[in-house]
Every structure is written in structure tokens, then in C-alpha cells.
Chain A
Amino acid sequence: MSKPRLLNREEESLPLERELLVRMHDLMVKARVLEERLIQMYKQGHGYFWIGGPGEEAFNVPLGMLMKKGQGPAYDYLHGHYRQSATMLALGEEPIGAMRQMKNVVTDPYSGGRNFAGHFSKREWNIAPVSSPIEIQYTMAPGTALAQKRHGGDGISIVTGGDAGTAEGDFASCLVWSSRKGNELPVLIIVTNNKWGISTPAETQHGETHVADRGKAFNMRTKTIDGNDPINAYLELKEAMEYVRKERKPFLMEAMVSRLYGHSSASGANMVGNEQDCLTVFEARLEKHGILTRKEMDDLRNRYSEDMAAMARQVIQEPMPGPETIWNHIYAERK
């Protein structure tokens, strides 16, 4: 592990402004409530499959907050994976979209009812379509990054995936293509390490001490960070992004995170008891430092729960895509 930020055990004050902390907390709660609502929809039969990111909010919220949102090479591209809902909400996305995708209704903004939950896509914000085959997004990030390097400005390409997927050759592809001598690319290569590949513990499959160490062979900056601490994640991401934006070179960041509901509905989508909950820990800190009271935090959670319950009720009334729509959009047509 590279040197962690020195956080005094008895920290006197939190190193971010109150407003930012409150916003971060708000988004983390919103994302957690959304995922729990999606899981509930699945368990009530309002969806065939759930996969998402509860447990990764402390990392994924800051990521979304720090992204440069917009369309085209002047802005950041996100080549995400299916645990990215908190990032989407932090970017300003409405939670109802994820529910619509869960229920696979015609109004699903990401795929029109065609794809699994958590498979976001939004061209207007450079959110590349999430796909199920593990790690393929790592081959694409250098492509958008090359266009960005050529375009000028400070837009970067961000790619995320899990630790298990780094066993795929596509992860190596990303390291190779991002770090070619004289042709380095502005890619922020992120691995959210939850220490699992579905049911398989990482330590039974990986010999490297840290996934991030693999970047060293390619002469890129790397760091393994605590991704369960949103303040730390925010500061580390900010620093890494500034480097990639300015130097136009890659950075490999490994964020240690939790997986609170297992892999997906395929493994039951039940709360696990043995992983650190980033939200619980963060709330204790916020309370301790007088940023928010317990009641304020509970009220917020209840408000989101009610809002999203209402959204879900609306979504389950919405129509399915018609069978004739299978023929739509096989090819793009000139407008």
C-alpha cells in the first residue's frame, strides 16, 4: 500500500468544507436507497436481475462529483461497469432511470428495456454503455483518451472495473496502450477492489500484492487507496485527476471497497454482515464533528426512501417495449 494520507485518529476537523461533506453524504444516501429499492424491486418480481454498487458509494460519489460532465472530447469519458449508480447520481442523474431499467420498461433511458439494471449509458454526458462482459471497457478507454489528447483541453478518460476482472488480458491492454513512450494517454485507470469475483476470493487467484503495483512496470503513477472513506477518496481522486488532466498521462488507482449485498441477485442480493459499511462509518464521523445530526440523516434517508418508493410505484405501471421494437436501432441512420 502506498503511503496513506495521515488522518489523525482523533481528527480535529474534517478536511473538506461542510457543504461538500453534506452533499457527498446526501448522494451516498441517495445511492444506497436507490440500490436497496432496486433490490426490493427484484425481490418483488419487478425485474429479472439485479446488479449494482451498494458499498462503493464512498468512492463512486466523489468520482461523479469530480468528473467534468459534458459531451465530446473536451469533457471526461466514463467507461464504467455495473456498480456505478452512485457515480451517475453524483453527476446529476435522476434515480428513476435506474428503476426503469430494472423493470425493463419502454421508458428505460439507457437501453429502452433491453439491458440489465446498472448498465448505464448516456451519450450526452460521455457515459459509455456499460456491458456485461468483464473488462472490455478497458480496451476502449485509450481510444477516447487518444481523441482527447489530440483535441486538447483537459478532458480525461476514466475507466472502472473490479479486481477480479484485472485477470483479463483487457486490463493489460489498457496498461500497454495508455503508456506507450511518447504517446502516453490521459486515462485514469480505476480498479475498485472488493476482494471478490462473484464467489471467488481474490487471494486465491492473484499473486500480486496490490493490483496497482502492475502499473509500475509501465512507468505510470499508481496508488492503492481506502475507497471506503469518501473524504480520502475525494482527495485522492482529485489529485489523480489533476495529474491526468495536466500531464496527459495515465494513472492507475486501486480503491479498496466493500461489497455489501454480494455479487448480484444471482448470489441472493442479501446484506452481508462482515464488510465495512462506508455509509455507517461516514455518518458516525459527520455526527461526531457536528456536521449533521442523527435525526437529519435519518430524515434524509426516510425522505429518499419515500421518494423512491413512489418512483417505483410509477415505474411498475409503465409499459413494456412493444415486440415490434426489436427491429429498432440495429443501425444508426443519418438524421
Chain B
Amino acid sequence: MANMAQAVRMALHYAEENLGVTDIFGEDVGAPLGGVFTATQGLKTAWNTPLDERGIIGMAIGLAMAGAKPVAEIQFVDYIFNTIDLLKVAGNTCWATNGDWNLPMVVKTPVGSGIRGSLYHSHSFDATATHIPGWKIVIPSNPLDAYGLMISACQEINPVMYLEPKALLRIKGEERIPGEPDNDKLLSKMIDAPLGDRSQWKPQWPALEAYAVPIGKGKVVRAGSQVTVVSYGRTLPLCKKAADDLAAEGVDAEVIDMRTLWPYDWEMIKGSVEKTGRVLYVNEDTEVTNFGEHLVRRTVEELFYKLMAPPRLLAGKFIPGIGLADPLEMASVPQQGDITAAIRSLASEQP
């Protein structure tokens, strides 16, 4: 099975062939590197930009205005912060012009911890992104969703923020992307650029199929009756594993992958919480003014009388950064043990 980086690459290839994507660009996005995570290798519309994040976002806005279909990359989300006002403008353009303009553009950027990225390659962006109205915000937790969400993002007529959990980019999927070969080695041979001289290299793309994960739709990745766990991105597989492990202890947890942070699938969350009476929101952004706090508030306001326990949030510590040393990173953002313990504790909590 493809890993997430390959899935993104294949989706972008499908999009430039079939969905009108005209430009895939950013720092080191074009040949020879094809992106620092290899997600843009071999793409015919990929090109390298100056080292200028504001220029990259401005270019995307301009291209979108002129009828092109850009996919812009910010190499690491840690470097997107100097573009916030441009992101706000991209998000408000349709509204500010009373519907006259719309900007079909995608911004993709790797987020989160998990690769020992220290202070400036570990940031999360979910709290900030969900604070910028006018965008649709997606974040996959596995290669198939990464493929399907990118297809949907490229079909959108509004700005889409595509957050790539960098810890998962090299992880192979458990489900086949429609059209990918069964043999991983063969896939790699076909679409991974070789080491060394790549000047003559051309990818052999598999016959990919349109497979879209609708924006705004979550997914129940594990059904359960006792407690609801809602997550996305890097922490989603950890939640799933925690729920599977806890089954042996008699804890029956339902796990929901949000997949889209805005507009999000409240109906799915609500239905699950009404059934279980308990909910834990898990993400790795810093916990103060965290997107999960919004979900907790909505849970309290709309589902208060259905709850058996307070809604909980497990998130990153509110500290200035993520330290490089292993114990520092482990202590800063939720890890497997933290999540398992939090679910176990909530599941047994009684009024």
C-alpha cells in the first residue's frame, strides 16, 4: 500500500490530469527534489518558488483570481505564520466582495510533531486554521483519506487548507487507493524518484481513479458504546490503537476521525455522544484556545443532559515549543500512553 506522501502525490497527479490543477508550487516542490517529504515528485505542473512564504500565498491568490487552479505548499507549517493576513484575505475574499470573487486554491502544509522536529518543525495549526473563516480545513490520518481529501480539495471552488500530519507521511496505508498496484515495491519503482541524478527520470503513473472523501464528513473508525473519542491527524491512529487495546479490559470505545475540521461533521459527533454519554477530544495543538475547546463547549451547550461525565480534552501542553530531546517531545504532546489512560479514566467515570 502507498504511504501518505505517495497518496498525496498520486492525488495531485490525478488532479493535474483530470481536475484542472495548473500549478503545484512552493519551496523545493518541483524537480529535482519534489518536496521535502517527496509528496510532489514527478508532477508535471510542479515548480520551485523563491524562499518566500508570503509570495507563495500571494501567487496562489493571484492564480486563483485569474482562473488557474493552484496548489501551494508551505514547506512546514511553522513558516506559515508570517502569511496569516494573506490567509485571512483569501478566506474573506468571497465574503468581502459580497460573493463577486471566489478563490479556488489549495494550501498544503505538513503539521505536528513526531519526527523530532524540535521548536520549528513541530507546530500544529488546527487552532489557528479554524480561526480563519472562509477556508475549508482538512487533515487526513491515513493514505486513502489523504488521497480522497486531496481530490475533494482540488475540486473545491473555495480556499482549502490541507494539513498533512508529518509523522504519518511515511506510514503505509491499510486500504488500497483505487488504481494503485498491489505491490509496494512496484509502486515505489513507478513513482518514487531515484537517488542521485534524476534529470532523465519520469514517473510511470498507475491508472488512478477518482476517489473523493467529501469535505465535511467524518468517519467512525471503530464503533463502540461506552465512550466517544474524537480525533484527527497524528493522534487518530493512537486513539484507534488505544481503543483496540482497551477492548481487552472491557472498555468499548467509539473512535471518530474528523477528517475535516471545518465545516466539521457535528451530526456524527453528536450522534455518537448521545449514544455513549462520554466524549474525549484529542489533538496535539497547545491546549489553551484549542479547537477541541470549541468542541467541548458545543458538547456542553447542546448535549449537556445526555452526558454521563464532563467532556474532556487531551491536547498539547501550553508551552512555547516542542523540545528536541526525546523526553521533552514525549512530555509535550499526547502519546499512546496518555491517550490510553485518558480513555480508560473517562470510560469508568461515574456521575
> Which residues of A does B touch, CB under 8 Å?
72-73, 77, 79, 108, 110-112, 114-115, 119, 121-123, 128-129, 131, 133, 136, 138-148, 150-151, 157, 169-170, 173, 176-177, 180, 328-334
Contact = CB atoms under 8 A, between A and B. Distances in A.
Given A112-B98, A143-B66, A180 B50 contact: yes
Contacts of A150: 22, 68
A123 B100 contact: yes
Interface string B81-106: 00001100100011111111110000
A143 B96 CA distance: 20
A325 B201 CA distance: 54
Nearest to A112: B98
Contacts of B67: 72-73, 147
Contacts of B62: 79, 139-147, 157
A177 B100 CA distance: 27
A148 to B, nearest CB: 7
B262 to A, nearest CB: 10
B97 A332 contact: no
A213 B22 CA distance: 34
B101 A123 contact: yes
B167 interface: no
Interface stretch (B51-59, B190-198, B329-337): B51-59
Interface of B: 22-23, 49-50, 52, 54-55, 57-68, 70, 85-86, 89, 93-102, 133-134, 136, 157-158
B50 A143 contact: no
B95 A173 contact: no
Contacts of B93: 129
A173 B66 contact: no
B89 A147 contact: no
B264 to A, nearest CB: 14
B65 A144 contact: yes
B97 A328 contact: no
Contact of A114 (B57, B95, B136): B95
Contact of A330 (B52, B65, B70, B94): B94
17 contacts: A119-B96, A121-B97, A128-B101, A129-B101, A133-B85, A139-B86, A143-B61, A143-B64, A144-B65, A146-B23, A151-B66, A177-B49, A180-B50, A328-B98, A329-B94, A329-B95, A333-B157
A42 B229 CA distance: 54
Nearest to B60: A143
Contacts of A145: 62
B100 A122 contact: yes
A90 to B, nearest CB: 20
Given A121-B101, A129-B93, A148-B66, A142 B59 contact: yes
A64 to B, nearest CB: 19
Contacts of B22: 147, 150
A173 B55 contact: yes
Contacts, number: 137
Contacts of A148: 66
Contacts of A121: 96-97, 100-101
A331 B66 CA distance: 18
Nearest to A119: B96
Contact of A129 (B49, B59, B96): B96
A123 B102 CA distance: 10
Given A140-B65, A170-B58, A329-B99, 14 more contacts: A77-B66, A122-B100, A128-B101, A133-B85, A140-B59, A143-B59, A143-B64, A143-B70, A144-B63, A146-B23, A151-B66, A173-B54, A332-B102, A332-B157
Given A144-B65, A177-B59, A332-B158, A111 B94 contact: no
Contacts of A128: 65, 101
A145 B58 CA distance: 12
Contact of B97 (A110, A173, A180): A110
Contact of B52 (A110, A119, A133, A173): A173
B98 A329 contact: yes
A330 B90 CA distance: 11
A115 B92 CA distance: 11
Nearest to A138: B58
A140 B68 CA distance: 13
B99 A328 contact: yes
A78 to B, nearest CB: 11
Nearest to B134: A330
B63 A131 contact: no
A139 B57 contact: yes
What are the 7 closest A-B residue pairs judged by CB atoms, nearest first?
A143-B62, A139-B58, A332-B102, A112-B98, A147-B66, A329-B99, A140-B62
Contact of A136 (B63, B68, B85): B85
Contacts of B64: 143
A169 B98 CA distance: 29
B70 to A, nearest CB: 8
A98 B141 CA distance: 48
A238 B243 CA distance: 70
B63 A176 contact: no
Contacts of B133: 330
A176 B100 contact: no
